[in-house]
Structure 1
Amino acid sequence: MQIKNITLGTLAALLLGITACTDQLDVVDPNRLSTGQYYQNETQAVAAVDAIYNALIIDGMYQRMTPIYADGRGDEISSRSPWPFLTGLSSFVVPGTDGALEIYWAGHYIMVSRANQALENIPNIDDVDTELRERLMGQAYFLRALAYFNLTNALDNVPLVLQTPDGVESFYPSNETVTHEMVYAQVKSDLESAISRLPVNYDNVSGTDQGQEGRAAKGAAQALLGQVYLYEGNYAEALPLFAAVINSGEYALAANYADLFSQDPGVENANPGKIFWADFTTSTSSEFNWGGDPNVNWRQFLALTPTYSVGDFFDFYPTNFLYTEMRKERTVDGKLDPRYHATLLSYEPDEGYTTAYGQDWFERGYGENDYFIKKYTNAATGSDAFSAGFDYHIIRYADVLLMYAESLAKTGDIAAAAAYVQQVRNRANLPDREAEFAAYSPEQFMDQLEHERIMELAIEGKRWYDLKRWDYLQGTKLEELKSHDFEFNTFTPGEDEYLPIPQTEIDRNPNLVGNAAN
């Protein structure tokens, strides 16, 4: 996300060094103030919430691990990495003892911790405009909900930490009686709190956040809450939330699909389909934003770019299933779907695609039938992958339209659902098949919707969770997945739906237990 007027230098000074002073040690570090010394005025309240947003761009969140946790376990890409963690994750055999599991865990609990501090302390600051205070609280609730939504989807029974630890018992939280449903209940509660406090946009608010459109708005909270209900199979509850986002008039489909994946800030900021995102830049500053406290030397790059790029780490590649699926239907003028060209890199001379990374296709040593990942990589330009500035989409409008269509179909209104599916297809210049889709049986419509979601959302962290909620992880459906991606040959139903809770965390915390994958 993009927040104007807040620099990394300011964040570094204000990132809340949350260790309070003791009687034995009362030395004040001006760069790491205790909560008692901080939270004195409106500026500090705003900076405290900005610090929560900062967690979005570290390795344990959207810089790399959160996309990989979803994409790697789906059937759209496979891993060829020399790093055993990535190949193990992608083939469902990573052990709980792998230390790299800590990266995701730590990143998300950093966000939870910063949100908890803001929620506890901002209400006690007198020098904050009342409406601004509500907006700040709403953002903190939204970001905590997002962190827990990710955590429980990936790890199941994670500990619910809802306040800053103030003693031994709260410092070692237990997850022994926590369930996925309990975490979802907290996520829903936080999102309801966020929706009641967030504005539709920041254009006309009165305060230091005026015009800062990258902050979480009401539509982001409504869309995420609708997604929670969708994942639960509660389509009736999801419907009005998606409808509210669509009917708000705040969002629209970008005219050009490829603009969704531009590193040009002007193009990115003009995109009407962005609802909530992690903001990365093309900075070449000296320190990489893998994690920890930010400073003025952070470059804020998207590490997913070298991870997926055939020109760099090349840790992942598209499956033949994805390649074939995305070539099934042609546009009205007989061309490949433009979303194919934004997602996959291949040699297509008839459509003018004969280069990769700024060079001739064959001069780079690629074969005529080779294909690679293009989305979120620098394949179109050949620019430095380690200063990649693609904003990573967390919630976008096309996904809301398709989730709304799914909810409509699941509640019996396939005709209305077909119209929203065709709306997404129109941007890709595909034939008008609305009437055909409207006449489909529920099973036929869901098969079509699955295809539409792949076309629109491939390699965006959605497919794995679609597979889970559509019951692909058992029986004949699992056999189908094995034909899509060999990595499913080592998937064990009932054990591998979640990744293990890091053993290092279990070793540190005597009250923490593992999950079915441990």
Structure 2
Amino acid sequence: MNIKKIVLTTIVAVTGMSCGKDYLELTNPNQQTTATFWKNDNDALMAVNAVYQSLYYDGTFLRFAQCALDLRGDDMMSPSPWDVLSNTGSFKLFNNTIMQQWLWIAFYGGVTRSNFVLSNIDKVPFKDQELKDRLRGEALFLRGLNYYYLVTFFNNIPLVTKFYENSSEYFPAQASPEDVWNHVYSDFDEASKLLPASYSGADLGRATKGAALAFLGKSYLFNKKYDLASAKFKEVMDMGSYDLMANYGDNFTEANENNRESIFEIQFSRDVGGITLGWVSSPAADWSKTTARAITFAPAPFGWNDAAPTQWIVDEFKKEKTKSNEDDPRLKATIYYNYPGCTLYGQSFQTVYAAELGKLGVKKYGNGGGNVPDEKDWRSGINERLMRFADVLLMYAECQNELDNRAECAKQIQRVRNRANLPDREAEFAGLSKENMRERIAHERALEFALEGHRFDDIRRWGWLQNPTRLAELKSHDPEFNSYVPGREFFSIPQAEIDVNKNLKQNAGY
């Protein structure tokens, strides 16, 4: 038993609490309220468990967050017949589609639940101060995480830092992105001082000190605070808790979850709860704790084929052979394509796609190597790895380049390359100029994190969308960039939100 089971058994009680009046203005003496809930350590624990539930909705990591993160990169495109997804990949979303709306609702739901904890936890007469500190740290981390995604998705967002009993009376204006980022830094920093280095047993999967430090470093990196980011990544590296898995593919399977490379991952399981898919509304005991990523991304006829790798990323993998003169092994762990012996869901690629041998399919985070015939029950149990140690190493390397320490940068790049059995080029890379090293980092990150939702955020923070030469390259990698409009590196503010909150202003480009 771990946190995914704890979340299921405690979320219903917490989210069932009403913040307003019921229709008859009567009080149910058996119903939990904010006035009666915060009585003991277990109440606080249940409330924090409820915050984790916010990561399981369709607007977060049940499905839509992965689509929002992945489909806009040049390593992936969307052939989906559903315009919500195909328009996400081609920057053509209108102001009021469910993509923006569900992201906004679900991630702000996580903020609200975090604020609920942080605004009330001091009411509890804790018997265990260490538990109180840990729970506060978890709530701070989860609030920081939700705001991290909100500001990277929307840029101009309200910053709400306390719980309001009646949210209908509160219509905040947008804060500056700088103010939001400063709050993200603060949440992750404070969380890192309160959270333990690791957990075991039922608590496996909760936020750790390493997770808070890694996301704090990544937040600094997004804003070019290289010295601050470098220091936080180095703290993670010096903890001694993390290392690269010997087998790259072990990072994306159900069998190797919560491994030594994983710093933070969303816990999914086919063995918890019922089989009802938890799309919307309040969670119930029969809700499944699974993800719909696999069916969404899997190639037809095994899934919906709403996403597919681009030929560019395949070609990028093939630019350099291993020491054994073979293709980079990360390619076969990431993508289904036409090579001898390729099988998926128990069938030969060459047989399934005999009339379409140029087919490319998403393998990463799928169940094609297991014992299931397809993904069409919608219920994948593969945990979503939001932060891997490999990312910390390459982000640290990027900081070292910007701080003019090319030798250390090259060392960490080669450390990641070694797992893929690529030639040792550390000395060569150490002699590169800063600009040429940036090119090398971009290449190495594209391969290590292909189809994991990092690529678009990378090219956006590097300023490639504002660089005509770079934008032309992106268009050659993925024709979906032909319809990019300046400003659409961020999603529009959902029109439904603007309609009810007149203080909100629409983002540029829409």
Question: Shared topology, TM-score over 0.5?
Answer: yes
Describe the SS at the equivalent of 2:386.
strand
2:231 corresponds to 1:231: no
Counterpart of 2:269 in structure 1 is: 281
Counterpart of 1:458 in structure 2 is: 450
Q: TM-score, normalised by structure 1?
A: 0.93
1:80-105 superposed Cα distances (whole Å, 9 cap, x missing partner)? 11111111111111010224421111
Check whether the contact 1:112–1:144 (CA below 8 A) recurs between aligned residues. yes
Counterpart of 2:150 in structure 1 is: 151
2:285 corresponds to 1:296: yes
Residues 490 and 128 of structure 1: CA distance in aligned 2, closer, same or farther (over 3 Å): farther
Describe the SS at the equivalent of 2:475.
helix
Describe the SS at the equivalent of 1:276.
strand
2:480 corresponds to 1:487: yes
Check whether the contact 1:347–1:355 (CA below 8 A) recurs between aligned residues. no
For 1:462, give the aligned amino acid.
H
Check whether the contact 2:338–2:359 (CA below 8 A) recurs between aligned residues. yes
Residues 129 and 439 of structure 1: CA distance in aligned 2, closer, same or farther (over 3 Å): same
Counterpart of 2:500 in structure 1 is: 508
Summarize the alignment of residues 64-213 of structure 1 with structure 2, pairs less than 5 Å apart: 64-166=63-165, 171-175=170-174, 178-202=175-199, 212-213=203-204
d(CA) in 1 for partners of 2:447, 2:322: 13
Check whether the contact 2:65–2:103 (CA below 8 A) recurs between aligned residues. yes
1:462-515 superposed Cα distances (whole Å, 9 cap, x missing partner)? 11111011111021111111101101111122x212110110111122222221
2:425 corresponds to 1:433: yes
Select the residue among 374, 386, 394 that pairs with 2:363: 374
1:244-279 superposed Cα distances (whole Å, 9 cap, x missing partner)? 000000111111111111122xx213x100100111
For 2:107, give the aligned amino acid.
H
Residues 20 and 33 of structure 1: CA distance in aligned 2, closer, same or farther (over 3 Å): farther
1:168 positional shift:
6.8
1:211 positional shift:
6.4
Sequence identity, in percent? 38
Summarize the alignment of residues 365-404 of structure 1 with structure 2, pairs less than 5 Å apart: 365-366=353-354, 367-381=356-370, 383=372, 384-385=374-375, 386-404=378-396
For 1:315, give the aligned amino acid.
D
1:59 positional shift:
1.0
d(CA) in 1 for partners of 2:192, 2:221: 18
d(CA) in 2 for partners of 1:307, 1:22: 38
d(CA) in 1 for partners of 2:81, 2:23: 50
d(CA) in 2 for partners of 1:134, 1:19: 26
1:174 positional shift:
1.7
d(CA) in 2 for partners of 1:211, 1:297: 20
1:22 positional shift:
7.6
- Which range moves more in the overlay, 153-162 or 163-172? 163-172
Residues 459 and 364 of structure 1: CA distance in aligned 2, closer, same or farther (over 3 Å): same
Check whether the contact 1:16–1:38 (CA below 8 A) recurs between aligned residues. no
2:208 corresponds to 1:217: yes
1:352-393 superposed Cα distances (whole Å, 9 cap, x missing partner)? x33222112233234333221111122323625222111101
Counterpart of 1:27 in structure 2 is: 27
Counterpart of 1:47 in structure 2 is: 46
- Which range moves more in the overlay, 190-199 or 252-261? 190-199
Describe the SS at the equivalent of 1:362.
helix
Describe the SS at the equivalent of 1:296.
coil
1:339 positional shift:
1.0
d(CA) in 2 for partners of 1:7, 1:108: 17
Residues 433 and 296 of structure 1: CA distance in aligned 2, closer, same or farther (over 3 Å): same
Residues 181 and 87 of structure 1: CA distance in aligned 2, closer, same or farther (over 3 Å): same
- RMSD of aligned C-alpha atoms? 2.0
Check whether the contact 1:273–1:398 (CA below 8 A) recurs between aligned residues. yes
1:131 positional shift:
1.2
For 2:196, give the aligned amino acid.
P
1:448 positional shift:
1.1
Check whether the contact 1:4–1:212 (CA below 8 A) recurs between aligned residues. no
2:415 corresponds to 1:416: no
d(CA) in 1 for partners of 2:131, 2:165: 28
Counterpart of 1:362 in structure 2 is: 350
d(CA) in 1 for partners of 2:168, 2:351: 62
1:17 positional shift:
1.7
- Which range moves more in the overlay, 64-73 or 378-387? 378-387
1:14 positional shift:
3.2
d(CA) in 1 for partners of 2:213, 2:459: 23
Q: Give the unaligned 5+ runs of structure 2.
A: none
1:128-159 superposed Cα distances (whole Å, 9 cap, x missing partner)? 41111011001101100110110011101111
1:33 positional shift:
1.9
Counterpart of 2:249 in structure 1 is: 258
Counterpart of 1:12 in structure 2 is: 12
Counterpart of 1:207 in structure 2 is: none
1:105-143 superposed Cα distances (whole Å, 9 cap, x missing partner)? 111011001000000111110134111101100110110
For 1:219, give the aligned amino acid.
G
Counterpart of 1:206 in structure 2 is: none
d(CA) in 2 for partners of 1:62, 1:169: 27
Residues 167 and 56 of structure 1: CA distance in aligned 2, closer, same or farther (over 3 Å): closer
Residues 318 and 135 of structure 1: CA distance in aligned 2, closer, same or farther (over 3 Å): same
Describe the SS at the equivalent of 2:130.
helix
Q: Give the unaligned 5+ runs of structure 1.
A: 204-209
d(CA) in 2 for partners of 1:84, 1:395: 30
For 1:6, give the aligned amino acid.
I
Check whether the contact 1:16–1:35 (CA below 8 A) recurs between aligned residues. no
Select the residue among 399, 403, 407 that pairs with 1:407: 399
For 1:276, give the aligned amino acid.
F
Residues 5 and 288 of structure 1: CA distance in aligned 2, closer, same or farther (over 3 Å): closer
Describe the SS at the equivalent of 2:203.
coil
Residues 154 and 23 of structure 1: CA distance in aligned 2, closer, same or farther (over 3 Å): closer
Check whether the contact 1:2–1:215 (CA below 8 A) recurs between aligned residues. no
Aligned pair count reads 502
Describe the SS at the equivalent of 2:34.
coil
d(CA) in 2 for partners of 1:11, 1:168: 20
d(CA) in 1 for partners of 2:77, 2:24: 54
